[in-house]
Structure 1
């Protein structure tokens, strides 16, 4: 059963869909999904397509990657989509999860107020850009929520030689969409996955001010439960296989083209 926190964030009543054939209801696949994938809108495309193709309804709960791994490891989720490679590797090595299948990628970008573009102009890499932000007198909004983005922030601040608990860093403790809204209100910088920013930028008054470089690569993977943890291993593998199939890859690779003019995710090879 989902925890109270998960239930309150459950979205898309897809469990009400009827499985193909015979009119019997299949138990929904319980899928814990990192908030950036949810906030970009991608799951609204993938889940109905998976249900139509495999006859399996899905319940989705958007949480940070660390929480998604915890739900999977404790049998409260059947599968997870996360983007925290270090924690994924640790969970796999310890036997808390049973498998990891990379399915797509995008990149992190440094976002900030349009009028602050000059702060990071000329930075050679993200480390230099972050040092410039630290010396600018402006705020930086941190996710602060144990998401896949949060540990990447910490790694990048460490690489830049800037303490991650500096006074100019404001912790949101929320999802990517919430953090972007806070950055807009505070006229602050923020590290965002490219997909969520482009899908949500609207009237935020924020722009991508720095991008590029391997330090900003962002890989998403489907995680399977360990055999002894109570999750639905077959269902998790079916979902991973669907995302790796020509149909799934086509949906991932085309998502965003009609709405923002470019793909928001790229299927992995």
Structure 2
């Protein structure tokens, strides 16, 4: 079988967020044991919003399973899981997650929760998007004005959603890369900091925006378009394809987060009195 990366190497390869604990030994050439930690591959939005810091201690206390979380873009998380370098996914790109399962890497995808994306930008709104109702029209206005736009540019779930919206707007921003269109290749928090510094527009998930502390003159300028719906799913990595994964712990986490305790924990998570994720397992 293909050996899985030592946890330390995985952190380095995926630029693990500060949430992750210290480096751990590999499970390289044998199946994971019941006492091994669960490696959760998730997104920067679940970390930057504070959701993981809220959920994981509850799961650990109720299950006795230690969790080590890797928060990267959804694309990076899926690629790591397809190598067997993680046990379970909590990500937000339904199409890619379903493809991951269809290709034999995951045991199945389950709905967990949803929120939405919003377009943020400087209060002066040079492209006039606050007067619009549809996200593709807003992006077309930004492109027509040549107003700065900060993109994740990292194949994350947010970046893939953004690219779908550009396609609906019949605009290809890539030829403008490095001019008004800035591909940052970073997580959501870093991209928002860059957008604020450049007086640029950006697409962000609502949870990260609510928890973001450096808004200055930036604000939400467009929201509520159904195209901005942002679903999250959980996918255990398939031990039949990747025998080194901690399959029992992965299934325990998937069952917990889609069960009554996990769904209640998601519903109880708020920032400044605002609930940022809506649980929807089984709906």
The 1-side partners of 2:13 and 2:154 are apart by 14
Q: CA deviation at 1:91?
A: 1.2
Aligned with residue 177 of structure 1, among 182, 186, 189: 189
**1:116-160 deviations in Å (ceiling 9; x for gaps):** 177113313111111111122311111001111111111100100
Aligned with residue 217 of structure 1, among 214, 229, 233: 229
The 1-side partners of 2:76 and 2:206 are apart by 22
The 1-side partners of 2:57 and 2:19 are apart by 13
> In structure 2, what is the equivalent of residue 116 of structure 1?
125
TM-score normalised according to structure 2 size: 0.86
Q: CA RMSD in A?
A: 2.0
Cα contact 1:10–1:61 (8 A) shared by 2: no
Shift in CA distance, 79/100, structure 1 to aligned 2, threshold 3 Å: same
Higher helix share: 1
Shift in CA distance, 26/39, structure 1 to aligned 2, threshold 3 Å: same
Cα contact 1:181–1:204 (8 A) shared by 2: no
Aligned with residue 246 of structure 2, among 232, 245, 248: 232
Note if 1:245 corresponds to 2:259. yes
Q: CA deviation at 1:178?
A: 0.6
The 1-side partners of 2:63 and 2:154 are apart by 33
> In structure 2, what is the equivalent of residue 72 of structure 1?
81
Equivalent residues, number? 259
> In structure 2, what is the equivalent of residue 159 of structure 1?
168
> In structure 1, what is the equivalent of residue 208 of structure 2?
196
The 1-side partners of 2:14 and 2:129 are apart by 38
3-state DSSP of counterpart to 1:99: coil
Note if 1:132 corresponds to 2:141. yes
TM-score normalised according to structure 1 size: 0.90
| Structure 1: 5+ residue stretches without partners | 17-24
| Structure 2: 5+ residue stretches without partners | 1-5, 25-33
